[in-house]
Amino acid sequence: MSHPPLVSIIIPCHNASRWLAETLDSAFAQTWPNLEIVLIDDASSDGSLAIARRYESRGLRVSTRSTPGGAASARNQGLDLARGDYLQFLDADDLLAPDKIACQLARLADFGPTTVATAAWSRFHQATGEAAFIAQPLWRDLNPVDWLTTSWLDHCMMATASWLVPRSLADSVGPWNTQLHPNPVDDMEYFSRVVLASVQVLFCPQARVYYRTGIPGSLSRQRSDAAWDSIFQSFFLTADRLLAKENSALTRLAAAAALQRLIYESYPRSAPQRADASRRIAEWGGCTLRPDAGPKRRLLQALLGWRLTKRLHELFVPRH
């Protein structure tokens, strides 16, 4: 009787001591019987490594770095160490439901190694009871092009831990891109490569992931000039790959909408990148997308224009 596929859970960790034990517990609680869990401690200074060491007796494989290299680099180190047939990336503050991996492998069993699985996910801050699993446009089976165009046209995402990736598919697309400055969408750049190299993305509604938000100083809240430049580069790379896969009215519209939204979000930062994005949008046929805003802000935009409204909003509305 053949052994069940080995799944490698790869956890990059940098100063996550407040949440790491809960994350590791969720990894070790997986009902799938054949797992390895690999943690890369990215030069933590807060006691995360000591917490990780306590799990070594349970089989946790710990690798340490003396200087921080960022999550992408840590995930690549995890890829080098991982021996699994499937890969589960898990940030050190997020959680997996106990049957997450088992549910996804049950769906993938009848498909080849070029099919990737996603899961239902929801945000929470302190307790998983806060999570509300509300269906999103990506919560269905999709072919690669439809998956990416839906993500951009409907402005929705898939949390990093939602994916389960066959190792052979991951090997075919290469490592995480460490040339990009750490930014909140480096997972988009990586998983877009995975999606476009696949033949299908299968959604597994019973598989669940808990995505922790509201953490002070988290990467998703950082918007330095270098981060914005890197976010633009991530979108440029992804748009180029999408259009190389299929250059159609739909894919051009999706790419234009994604860049137009990014222009609004980044203003007044990254002027050269915004100009480059505007040029690309014009080449793709333009975009009529308007900034997301509530009634009061829409009124201000009508009176003052979206640029001045954005500047006033940043001056007078505190960022939490």
Instruction: Please indicate, yes or no, whether residues 264 and 297 belong to a single structural domain of this protein.
Output: no
Instruction: Please indicate, yes or no, whether residues 56 and 196 belong to a single structural domain of this protein.
Output: yes
Could you report the per-residue pLDDT of 119-143, keeping only the tens digit for each? Answer: 999 999 999 999 999 999 999 999 9
Instruction: Please indicate, yes or no, whether residues 11 and 84 belong to a single structural domain of this protein.
Output: yes
Instruction: Please indicate, yes or no, whether residues 126 and 263 belong to a single structural domain of this protein.
Output: no
Instruction: Please indicate, yes or no, whether residues 108 and 201 belong to a single structural domain of this protein.
Output: yes
Instruction: Please indicate, yes or no, whether residues 17 and 91 belong to a single structural domain of this protein.
Output: yes
Q: How far apart are CA 247 and CA 240, in angstroms?
A: 10
For residue 181, give the CATH number of its domain: 3.90.550.10
Instruction: Please indicate, yes or no, whether residues 33 and 146 belong to a single structural domain of this protein.
Output: yes
Among 178, 203, 220, identify where a domain stops. 220
Among 166, 189, 220, identify where a domain stops. 220
Instruction: Please indicate, yes or no, whether residues 123 and 212 belong to a single structural domain of this protein.
Output: yes
Number of folded domains that form the chain: 3
Q: Is residue 1 part of a domain?
A: no
With a pLDDT cut of 70, the percent of the chain lying above it is 90
Q: At what angle do helices 225-245 and 186-197 cross, to 10 degrees?
A: 10
Instruction: Please indicate, yes or no, whether residues 311 and 190 belong to a single structural domain of this protein.
Output: no
Structural domain for 232, as ranges: 223-288
Instruction: Please indicate, yes or no, whether residues 275 and 303 belong to a single structural domain of this protein.
Output: no
Q: What is the pLDDT of residue 317?
A: 61
Structure tokens at 144: 């690669």
Q: How far apart are CA 176 and CA 173, in angstroms?
A: 9
Could you report the per-residue pLDDT of 78-113, keeping only the tens digit for each? Answer: 999 999 999 999 999 999 999 999 999 999 999 999
**Which of 113-122, 220-229, 236-245, 256-265 comes out lowest in average pLDDT?**
220-229
Read off the pLDDT band of 320 (50, 70, 90): very low
Q: What is the pLDDT of residue 293?
A: 61
Read off the pLDDT band of 303 (50, 70, 90): confident
Instruction: Please indicate, yes or no, whether residues 236 and 192 belong to a single structural domain of this protein.
Output: no
Q: Is the pLDDT of residue 9 over 80?
A: yes
3-state class of 122 per DSSP?
strand
Read off the pLDDT band of 1 (50, 70, 90): very low
